[in-house]
Structure 1
Amino acid sequence: MTAEITMETIGGRTLRVARWHFDKPSDHLPLLFFNGIGANIEAVAPLAEALTERPFIMFDMPGVGGSPAPVMPYTPVTMAFTTKALLDKLGIGRVDMMGVSWGGAMAQHFALQHPGRVRRLVLAATSPGMLMVPGKLSALSKMADPRRYVDAAFMEKHFRTLYGGAAGGKDGHIGRITPPTKRGYLYQLIAMLGWTSAPALPFMTKETLIMMGDEDAIVPLANGRLLEALIPNSRLEIFAGGGHLFMISHREQTISSLRGFLDAPASTERAAA
């Protein structure tokens, strides 16, 4: 992985931070990425490495990947403040922002809490929180089971149920995953309990791209349609045949869509955003 990895202490939390392409000039804003629950930096490295023209930054949540386990639980509010403080420490001002699944909720919250720091928003395989259309019980029950990270046989057996047609196996997505700590995984789960962005999304002023797979068993496509209805300046792109990890199974389409959206001229984005 061609990234600069550092350990940064922010407000008493130590986070493992990865930065790609910050060592060369770019006409593009950095892309700040929030990962899915329990997922570490390496899981998204292929995407970061492919977007060679723009700086890319992400970090492991507390207790995930290389970030130490959290002592105290956190909320979207406190993690948004932590993220802003991290950007301040690294001298990064405005960013484009992307989040997938759990990270999509975090991206929504950050954009609403700190709108001046975000230009455009990409939401992938995500929902407005507790006011969502639930996925299939067969997938959700396995999603909540931490064995999907620590038991390779369990993951291999249930990979298609969980993620659709993405590449599994030790040389695919599974091989890039580092199991989170039990406390780290639990605190990520409870951070979003009772959280919803739905009442605030009609006031979202960011140009937003919503990316959804039409075969996602965890966050069904209906949630993308709901997000599109709630966010005024948004559009939905559907990945035909895509499961929850369509960013892997539909890699080239994902990269093309990201570039097309992030590089397009501004439309009706309000200057006050």
Structure 2
Amino acid sequence: MTRFLRVRVLGQDVRVAVRPGTAPGPPLVLCNGIGASLDLLQPFVDEVDPRIEVVRFDVPGVGGSPLPKVPYNFPTLACLIGRILDELGYDRFDTLGISWGGGLAQQLAFQHPRRCRRLVLASTATGSLMVPANPLVLAKMVTPRRYRDPDYAKSIAAQLYGGRMRQRPGEVRHVVYEQERLGPSTGYFLQLLAGLGWTSLPALPLIRQPTLILAGNDDPIIPLVNARIMRLLLPNATLHVYDDGHLGLLTSADELGPIVSGFLASRAGECASSNS
């Protein structure tokens, strides 16, 4: 049963959720997308092998974590997460990041090379130096309205998220709309600020951990070519392309949950079902 905790580190309270695993091993630390609380990832967590412990958190200013006293960037946030894992008693961990959280996951792997065992990158890219989305798509990303207005979220779901949302845009209400866990708008803009000017591109060859890259073949926010670039630059990476869009980790959780579980359980970190 998932435990919800309030962990205080570096003067900051952070809302954390821990789903205990039934077998020993490092936990899987999930880094969420921009503006979204840890609750958003529940469909994926439900599909992860129960033997794997899963840790989620709300970044400062989002969901159940209060606003920070000062703005943060990816390196300071990676330091904060490292302290949280210390408090929870984890020496080593695996990490998965989706979208904005994929940048944070890359920073964690780079900043904690001896602690981070394996890396999973879903619907993400290399930050400011990447092949960008259509400007009309990017314009819809700079506002948290898609999380606060369910009718607006439905109206832009197909154009913004692609994949299954093109046929069933009404489902976006159940996937991303969670009024009770939004947090203040300031938290959303702090996340945007954290990513300004950040890029992992020069550091990718230095990330030696076995890495699984998950990319949708219809992702308007993160064009597929970005995943192919990361696969080429990461020394030990596998690419799995799935038939869905930006929210595939949630809308195709029944497919991707077992793939991630198998990757984390394998001896060398290879993904048994992969393609490029």
State the TM-score, normalized to the length of structure 2.
0.91
Distance between the aligned counterparts of 1:173 and 1:31, measured in 2?
Answer: 21
Conserved in 1, the CA contact under 8 Å of 2:212 and 2:240?
Answer: yes
* CA separation of 1:174 and 1:110: change in aligned 2, threshold 3 A: closer
The structure 1 residue matched to 2:39, chosen from 39, 42, 51, is 42
The structure 1 residue matched to 2:206, chosen from 190, 194, 203, is 203
Root-mean-square deviation over aligned CA pairs: 1.7
| Distance apart, 1:138 and its partner CA | 2.4
Conserved in 1, the CA contact under 8 Å of 2:31 and 2:101?
Answer: yes
Please, which runs of 5 or more residues in structure 1 have no aligned partner? 269-273
Distance between the aligned counterparts of 1:180 and 1:229, measured in 2?
Answer: 38
Q: Which moved more, 1:163-172 or 1:116-125?
A: 163-172
Conserved in 1, the CA contact under 8 Å of 2:263 and 2:269?
Answer: no
Where 1:235 maps in the other structure, the secondary structure is: strand
Q: Which moved more, 1:161-170 or 1:135-144?
A: 161-170
Partner of 2:273: none
Alignment map for 1:79-118 (pairs within 5 Å): 79-118=77-116
Please, which runs of 5 or more residues in structure 2 have no aligned partner? 271-276
Alignment map for 1:21-170 (pairs within 5 Å): 21-22=20-21, 25-51=22-48, 52-164=50-162, 165-166=164-165, 168-169=170-171
* CA separation of 1:243 and 1:267: change in aligned 2, threshold 3 A: closer
Distance between the aligned counterparts of 2:257 and 2:249, measured in 1?
Answer: 8
Distance between the aligned counterparts of 1:184 and 1:150, measured in 2?
Answer: 13
| Moved >6 Å (runs of 4+) | none
| Distance apart, 1:248 and its partner CA | 2.0
Q: Which moved more, 1:60-69 or 1:40-49?
A: 40-49
| Distance apart, 1:229 and its partner CA | 1.0
Conserved in 1, the CA contact under 8 Å of 2:47 and 2:254?
Answer: no
Partner of 1:18: 17
State the TM-score, normalized to the length of structure 1.
0.92
Distance between the aligned counterparts of 2:245 and 2:269, measured in 1?
Answer: 30
Distance between the aligned counterparts of 1:252 and 1:146, measured in 2?
Answer: 28
Where 2:45 maps in the other structure, the secondary structure is: helix
Distance between the aligned counterparts of 2:120 and 2:172, measured in 1?
Answer: 29
Matched, 1:235 2:238: yes
Matched, 1:220 2:219: no
Matched, 1:190 2:193: yes
Conserved in 2, the CA contact under 8 Å of 1:20 and 1:49?
Answer: no
Q: Give the % identical residues.
A: 39
Alignment size in residue pairs:
264
| Distance apart, 1:170 and its partner CA | 7.5
Where 2:33 maps in the other structure, the secondary structure is: coil
